[in-house]
Structure 1
Amino acid sequence: MLNVEVIATEELGDRSYLAHDGVVAIVVDPQRDIDRIEALLAERGLTLALVVETHIHNDYVTGGHQLAARTGARYVVNADDPVTFDRTAVRAGDELTAGNMTVRVVATPGHTFTHLAYVISAGDPSTAPAVFTGGSLLYGSVGRTDLVDPAHTDELTRAQYHSARHLAASLPGEAAVYPTHGFGSFCSAGPAVGGPSGTIADERARNDAVLEADEDTFVTRLVAGLTAYPAYYAHMAPANLAGPGPIDLSPLPTLQPRELAERIAAGEWVVDLRDRTAYAAEHLTGSIGIGLGPQFATWLGWVIPWNTPLTLIGENTEQVADAQRQLVRIGIDRPEGRATGTIDALADGRPTRSYPAATFDDLRSGRDEDRVIVDVRRDDEHAVAHIRGALHIPLPELADRLGELPVRQLWVHCQSAYRASIGASLLDRAGFDVVLIADEFPHAQELGLTE
């Protein structure tokens, strides 16, 4: 019997999998913090035989290289991927065994040129297999096709269409489907109408690539729906091709107030992990507020200049440790240090800053001539609806476009206030007079502020 356990990384919208027969295990697409997987292997009393990668990941740094090295498992990677480390090189049609499990390799290009799916079966041959689809066939949709090279997006989208349809046609309807992406990851594309699980029969009934009979129509629709993706993605595939090294999640050095001030003065990023309300009320002058939560690593990685020295301010050491774990998954391995405690204590007599938080009701009742509304949402969000007269600068572009902002009070908003809080902190750091609209955009629509 094949058992499959899900290791979810909700912060990045991805899943890794542990498939086993009760004795021997296979891990699919492991995240960088492999201690979660090692703990599960120990808890179940399993021996890890194979670590398999569906593709060279673009949205996170893999833990596969280290997991295989630490356990002695074979590391399975497409033979056509130009990696710089030893691995078990496989191609379409190859079969591997682990315990009483059989792993069949299927070529599924689209998300990347060399993408693979793995069909795993165990025990009774009459029992349906499971298929691990990576960024190919997702629940209701498919993986995006513009991450490798925008010049090849059309070609890869057509390949993705055929890969998804091949899986749906060639496997039994009762076969369970286990994708890596599709749970909030920016690696997803298309209308994600699926739930938390699914089978091949489910995908035949709901997947956009399977239901759309016309390839050109599918390609046009998918490409038109592709939105911006995090800037740090550019660094993930090179790291994965090189074979990522081990991580260090030990406590960071504790920094004193003088050291914090020196780092801020040097232009380094000192990031405050507290929630947006606490940050707005009082923060260190020159710090940046990115509240710790499910989107933390994604947005920090998207807006920070890559390789900029980073220091973390938290309410406590546990908060900083959580941030460290999220960051190693995207290749920010070791921040310079940490500081915890009250802002007054960390300021140590130096001036602090604050700015007001408001709602869209406050915006409606204020005087138009005294303010400029700054919309930091994505282009596609702005195109659907926006506040009349708002200046639109997507959050990832904000730090590079400060010269476009007038010297007036800036009211910053997004869709749910999380990105607006980051944008407000960046503008405050640059010396602007800021108001954070800590409200959800549908409220602005209800008030008739949009067009």
Structure 2
Amino acid sequence: MFFVDTIEVAGLGNRSYLAGGERTAVVVDPPRDIDQVIAAAARRGVRISHVVETHLHNDYVTGGLELARLTGAAYLVPAAAHVSYDRVPVHDGDRSEIDAEAGLALRALATPGHTPHHTSYVLEENGKAVMVFTGGSLLIGTVGRPDLVEPRLTEHLARAQHASAHRLADELPDDAAVLPTHGFGSFCSSRQAAGESTTIGKEKASNEALTRDVETFVADLLAGLDDIPAYYAHMGPANAAGPAPVDLTPPALADADEIAARLAAGEWVVDLRNRVAFAEGHVAGSFNFEAEGQLATYLAWLIPWGKPVTLLAESAEQLATAQRELVRVGIDRPAAAATGEPSRWVRQGEAPASFRRATFADLAEHPGDGIVVLDVRRESERAAGHVAGSVHIPVHLLHRRLHEIPAGQVWVHCAGGMRAAIAASLLDAAGRDVVAVDDPFDAAEQAGLTIRTR
């Protein structure tokens, strides 16, 4: 008998896995905060004998090296991945015994495409393939992106993705479960996963990599590629060099004077509270990245790399959760932090800043009023429809392009409200008169606003 536990890394849209028998287990693509992996193994009462990476990750810092060091597990990394530490180099076809009593073994399958060295791992029970850990290769209804390594390799890797998907489909039984790392919100996926679970047989019937010829598949895949988060450029090198252990102890506490001093020095002060609370009152000059949203992705995407960050949270629990998410993308130690509410974060005699929130129906009541409508969605989202006359600057580019926004009151929107809140905080910090449209984009046309498509 065997088990498999899924370790959700929801903020980054990824999954890691713990799989094994009664005594020993393997961990696949572990997150940086490995304490949760160790706890999962303890609940199962198993020893972690192997830690494996499907590839050098572009969207997060791995915990694999540290997990292997702490547990004494063998650390398996694709042989063609260039790394600066000792590991067990994995080649196509290599087998590793996971639990002899349970008849469990792991077989490596070279599946290039997401990266040149990408490797999937087939879990076999008494010689029969029961599941495959596909990392960024074959995902649920889609595949991993081929454009994260080197622009000149993108088309070659897209073709390799098609071939790798077919290899998995050809060599594995239809009832083998497919367990990918990406596809649940990560920008490493070419699109969102089509469901929560799948098998080789289901993917044969529905995955475009398996139902389309290579030329059609490659053309569609390349045409649908979206923006790449800027911080991805730092993840691969960090994983190749060997990530350091994490420190999740609470950061130094900052009072109102220190918060003001850090703002004056040009550092980033990030308010983790929800966007409603932030709009109602916040430290002037601070930015709003909701702890409940895709905090790690968007903060790491926007912040100048290496810039000190001070975190403002409503509670110690919210702060600790944010720290955990941020170490996963290499933002290791906040410069300082504070908890509570804005009245405790502003200096005596100062009042919290605020701005208005609104809906698309409110926006429709202001035709021709000289306001600026700012769309901060990605290019692919805007192409499907946008408010006529709106200015378009994706949120991840906004802090460098604030000067492009015309004069006047700015009504900023995205697809749902979270990114609009980030953008509104950037505009507010820059001294602009801003209104955050906190409304699903579907409501724009319902409100009578003219929607145009390209």
- Is structure 2 residue 106 aligned with structure 1 residue 117? no
What SS does the corresponding residue of 1:103 show, helix, strand or coil? strand
My pick for the range that moved more, 58-67 or 333-342, is 333-342
Superposed displacement of residue 229, structure 1: 2.3
> Equivalents in 2 of 1:117, 1:367: separation in Å?
55
* Residue in structure 1 matched with residue 107 of structure 2 by the alignment: 104
In the alignment, is the contact (CA less than 8 A) between 2:287 and 2:422 conserved in 1?
yes
Normalising by structure 1, what TM-score? Answer: 0.97
What SS does the corresponding residue of 1:308 show, helix, strand or coil? coil
> Equivalents in 2 of 1:367, 1:348: separation in Å?
40
CA RMSD of aligned residues (A): 1.1
Q: 1:359 to 1:60 in 2, by over 3 A?
A: same
Superposed displacement of residue 103, structure 1: 1.4
What SS does the corresponding residue of 1:283 show, helix, strand or coil? coil
* Residue in structure 2 matched with residue 416 of structure 1 by the alignment: 416
* Residue in structure 2 matched with residue 230 of structure 1 by the alignment: 229
In the alignment, is the contact (CA less than 8 A) between 1:128 and 1:175 conserved in 2?
yes
State the one-letter code of the partner of 1:135. Answer: G
> Equivalents in 1 of 2:3, 2:356: separation in Å?
52
* Residue in structure 1 matched with residue 15 of structure 2 by the alignment: 15
* Residue in structure 2 matched with residue 336 of structure 1 by the alignment: 335
> Equivalents in 2 of 1:337, 1:114: separation in Å?
39
What SS does the corresponding residue of 1:83 show, helix, strand or coil? coil
Superposed displacement of residue 367, structure 1: 4.4
- Is structure 2 residue 447 aligned with structure 1 residue 447? yes
* Residue in structure 2 matched with residue 298 of structure 1 by the alignment: 297
Percent sequence identity is: 51
What SS does the corresponding residue of 1:56 show, helix, strand or coil? coil
What SS does the corresponding residue of 1:370 show, helix, strand or coil? coil
Return 5+ residue gaps in structure 2 as ranges: none
What SS does the corresponding residue of 2:48 show, helix, strand or coil? strand
* Residue in structure 1 matched with residue 162 of structure 2 by the alignment: 161
What SS does the corresponding residue of 2:369 show, helix, strand or coil? helix
State the one-letter code of the partner of 2:64. Answer: G
Superposed displacement of residue 66, structure 1: 0.3
In the alignment, is the contact (CA less than 8 A) between 1:140 and 1:206 conserved in 2?
yes
Superposed displacement of residue 448, structure 1: 3.1
* Residue in structure 2 matched with residue 136 of structure 1 by the alignment: 137
- Is structure 2 residue 174 aligned with structure 1 residue 184? no
In the alignment, is the contact (CA less than 8 A) between 1:274 and 1:290 conserved in 2?
yes
* Residue in structure 2 matched with residue 388 of structure 1 by the alignment: 388
Q: 1:362 to 1:294 in 2, by over 3 A?
A: closer
Normalising by structure 2, what TM-score? Answer: 0.97
1:6-405 matches, cutoff 5 A: 6-100=6-100, 101-122=104-125, 124-125=126-127, 127-190=128-191, 192-193=193-194, 195-212=195-212, 214-349=213-348, 350-405=350-405
What SS does the corresponding residue of 2:387 show, helix, strand or coil? coil
State the one-letter code of the partner of 1:7. Answer: I
In the alignment, is the contact (CA less than 8 A) between 2:364 and 2:448 conserved in 1?
no
In the alignment, is the contact (CA less than 8 A) between 1:30 and 1:64 conserved in 2?
yes
In the alignment, is the contact (CA less than 8 A) between 2:131 and 2:179 conserved in 1?
yes
> Equivalents in 2 of 1:278, 1:50: separation in Å?
45
State the one-letter code of the partner of 2:97. Answer: T
Alignment deviations for residues 101-147 of structure 1 (CA, whole Å, 9 cap, x no partner): 2111110000000000111113x34x542111100011111101100
Superposed displacement of residue 191, structure 1: 6.9
> Equivalents in 2 of 1:278, 1:65: separation in Å?
40
> Equivalents in 2 of 1:202, 1:23: separation in Å?
32
Aligned length: 447
What SS does the corresponding residue of 1:353 show, helix, strand or coil? coil
